[in-house]
């Protein structure tokens, strides 16, 4: 359940950041690279706040190590998500191939339940094929290690 106070603060912060960004566009800026930097800094800081939980830093202290662990976990999640997306694409391809089959070897699809069972079979076959690949195992292992590292970093006093 969402905390109404959290939502109110988030919306207020978003409104303040939007107003600050609009003010940056409306003021006279110098031309050249300095102008671009002046416009990019509020955007970069906004994204940093959005994707980096409070209390995590990128410095060399304990918070910095936790920040690095958070970034590693994000990268590991992305890598694993690509693997899972590949499985979904392969499952869809297998389903499409099964649905265009004709003749006695074609799966009988006369009900939604049979279509659902075929979809499950295609998904399981795609997952089984991917789960035996080295890239999948490496991505899954990296995600596990990164999450353990992040959890240990968040537990620091």
Question: Which 8-state DSSP code applies to residue 108?
Answer: P
Residue 92 has pLDDT above 70, yes or no: yes
The CA distance from 66 to 50, in Å, is 16
1 sits in which H/E element:
none
The CA distance from 3 to 52, in Å, is 20
Signed CA dihedral, 103, 108, 109, 115: sign only: negative
Residue 64 has pLDDT above 70, yes or no: no
pLDDT in tens, 130-157: 999 999 999 999 999 999 888 887 765 5
The CA distance from 108 to 97, in Å, is 14
Question: Which 8-state DSSP code applies to residue 56?
Answer: -
pLDDT in tens, 4-21: 776 677 777 777 777 766
The pLDDT of residue 132 is: 93
Q: How far apart are the first and last CA of the chain?
A: 28
pLDDT in tens, 44-57: 776 666 666 555 55
The pLDDT of residue 130 is: 96
């Amino acid at each position: 359940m969402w905390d109404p106070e959290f939502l109110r603060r988030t919306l207020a912060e978003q409104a303040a950041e939007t107003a600050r960004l609009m003010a940056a566009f409306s003021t006279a800026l110098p031309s050249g690279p300095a102008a671009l930097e002046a416009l990019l800094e509020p955007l970069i800081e906004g994204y940093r706040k959005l994707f980096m939980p409070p209390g995590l830093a990128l410095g060399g202290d304990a918070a910095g190590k936790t920040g690095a662990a958070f970034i590693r976990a994000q990268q590991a999640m992305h890598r694993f998500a690509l693997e899972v997306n590949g499985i979904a694409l392969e499952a869809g391809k297998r389903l499409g191939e099964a649905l265009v089959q004709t003749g006695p070897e074609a799966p009988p699809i006369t009900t939604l339940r049979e279509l659902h069972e075929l979809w499950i079979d295609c998904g399981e076959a795609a997952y089984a094929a991917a789960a035996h690949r080295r890239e999948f195992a490496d991505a899954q292992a990296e995600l596990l290690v990164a999450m353990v590292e992040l959890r240990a970093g968040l537990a620091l006093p």
